[in-house]
């Protein structure tokens, strides 16, 4: 609030001394945005993209955050937690979906697309295999710019969402396997790991990537015998070096893998599939030779899966049995530890949203940050993802060429 000085004139502070040109430059550099956070109910999704602390940072920077009532409940964040940190709480989905930026974890649905006012920025998982043509058509008609969580890269070329969720999935998969091996869930009553005088359980991990690494660390920590398979010798060497101990490693060879599966108590599928087609490193015939009561968890199920007997299921009903082997397969496994996963996501998206506000719009952000550009599959309603174009028979455009026109 301005105060009068001794001479009776209003004191405008230091800002009054700034030339008009500098005022203008400051105004152009920052543009206030509204961010909408809807409730996610699809597939028992409990994660939320922004924590209350992240909301506070965005609001303190001059932005508006609108939260749909109950959106944070799955991660044990109350509406009060958010409102005390500056968020507006709304019961109306239309109000939330009318924000400049709409950010949610689960992929957008056709019904949610109806709520959008158009010409907005959308951030969520894409999950290409589960996207319907009708939903994509509505997003195109709304002329939105949509960015997929799983395709965003950081300045080092790393996909931060994939990496952080893979860490969570790797550790969680071993904890789940331990639970399903026990009598509590009808397992064969084996403790994952080992004790003095008892042969340790055997864990087979397919894929020497981040998820595989964290699964191996968790299994080794419990005392299990771990075997890792991958097609890359380089990744296997790096895996062994990072683990700090000698592991049983092998490239994919059907006879070697079949032999390992016959004695395995747990199999973790952690293969990164890039072509959106299932690639079965473990066939149904191989599964049929496994021990009764053993456990399979396919972490690549959202990309089609790497084990022939796995199915992409919702988190509310992820367990089934085939050939006497317990299967667990849900595409959003990190949602089982929603609080931890939400904090990890929030650490990624808080600076991204602030950069969007500072850039003055999505076009400038995409120009400035190639990693965000890598995640864009729609730009102003124009399809920019070749994989989606091939799947639905729609011509996709080169995003770099589109941006050069602005």
- Domain residue ranges of the chain, discontinuous segments joined by +: 33-158+337-404, 166-328
Residue ranges in the chain whose pLDDT is less than 70: 1-31, 244-246, 274-278, 406
Strand-strand pairing, 319-322 and 325-328: antiparallel
What pLDDT does residue 247 have? 79
Single out the residue of 348, 397, 347, 339 nearest to residue 372, CA to CA: 348
Q: What is the pLDDT of residue 26?
A: 40
**What is 166-328's CATH number, 3.40.50.720, 2.60.40.10, 3.30.460.10, 3.40.50.10470?**
3.40.50.720
pLDDT at 314: 84
Q: How many residues does the chain have?
A: 406
| CA atoms within 13 A of residue 112's CA, in its CB half-sphere | 26
The answer to whether 251 and 229 are in contact (CB under 8 A) is yes
Query: Which pLDDT score, from 0 to 100, does residue 10 have?
Result: 36
DSSP 343: H
- Fold held by 33-158+337-404: Rossmann fold (3.40.50)
Quick one: what percent of the chain has pLDDT higher than 70? 90
How far is Cα 365 from Cα 353, in angstroms, rounded to an integer?
A: 10
Give the pLDDT of residue 7: 44
Q: Supply the pTM of this predicted model.
A: 0.87
- What is the spatial distance between Cα 184 and Cα 161, in angstroms, rounded to a whole number? 33
What pLDDT was estimated at residue 24?
38
- The reply to whether domains 33-158+337-404 and 166-328 share a CATH topology is yes
- Dist CA 99 CA 93 (whole Å): 11
Q: What is the pLDDT of residue 16?
A: 39
Strand order in the sheet with 64-68: 88-90, 64-68, 34-37, 101-103, 121-124, 145-148, 376-379, 382-383
């Amino acid at each position: 609030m301005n105060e009068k000085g001794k001479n009776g004139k209003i004191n405008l502070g230091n800002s009054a001394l700034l030339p008009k040109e500098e005022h203008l430059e400051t105004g152009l550099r920052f543009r206030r945005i509204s961010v909408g956070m809807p409730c996610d109910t699809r597939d028992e999704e409990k994660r939320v993209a922004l924590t209350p602390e992240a909301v506070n940072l965005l609001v303190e920077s001059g932005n508006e955050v609108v939260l749909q009532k109950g959106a944070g409940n799955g991660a044990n964040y109350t509406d009060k937690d958010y409102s005390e940190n500056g968020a507006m709480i709304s019961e109306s989905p239309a109000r939330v979906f009318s924000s400049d930026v709409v950010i949610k974890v689960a992929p957008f649905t056709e019904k949610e697309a109806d709520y959008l006012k158009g010409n907005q920025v959308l951030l969520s998982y894409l999950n290409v295999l589960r996207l319907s043509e009708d939903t994509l058509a509505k997003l195109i008609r709304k002329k939105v710019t949509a960015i997929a969580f799983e395709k965003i890269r950081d300045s080092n070329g790393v996909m931060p969402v994939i990496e952080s969720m893979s860490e969570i999935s790797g550790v969680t998969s071993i904890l789940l396997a331990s639970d399903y091996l026990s009598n509590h869930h009808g397992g064969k009553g084996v403790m994952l790991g080992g004790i003095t005088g008892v042969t340790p359980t055997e864990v087979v991990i397919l894929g020497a990537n981040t998820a595989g690494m964290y699964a191996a660390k968790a299994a080794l920590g419990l005392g299990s015998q771990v075997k890792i398979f991958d097609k890359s010798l380089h990744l296997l060497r790096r895996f062994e070096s990072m683990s700090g101990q000698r592991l049983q490693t092998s490239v994919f060879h059907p006879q070697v893998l079949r032999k390992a599966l016959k004695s395995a108590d747990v199999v973790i599928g952690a293969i990164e599939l890039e072509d959106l087609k299932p690639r079965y490193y473990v066939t149904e015939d191989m599964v049929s030779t496994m021990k009764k009561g053993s456990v399979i968890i396919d972490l690549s199920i959202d990309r089609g899966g790497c084990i022939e007997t796995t199915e992409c299921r919702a988190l509310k009903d992820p367990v089934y049995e085939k050939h006497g082997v317990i299967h667990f397969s849900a595409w959003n496994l990190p949602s089982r530890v929603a609080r931890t996963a939400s904090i990890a996501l929030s650490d990624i998206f808080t600076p991204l949203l602030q950069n969007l506000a500072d850039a003055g719009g999505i076009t400038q952000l995409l120009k400035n940050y190639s990693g965000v550009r890598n995640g864009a599959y729609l730009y102003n309603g124009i399809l920019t993802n070749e994989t989606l174009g091939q799947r639905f028979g729609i011509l996709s455009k080169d995003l770099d060429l589109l941006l050069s026109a602005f």
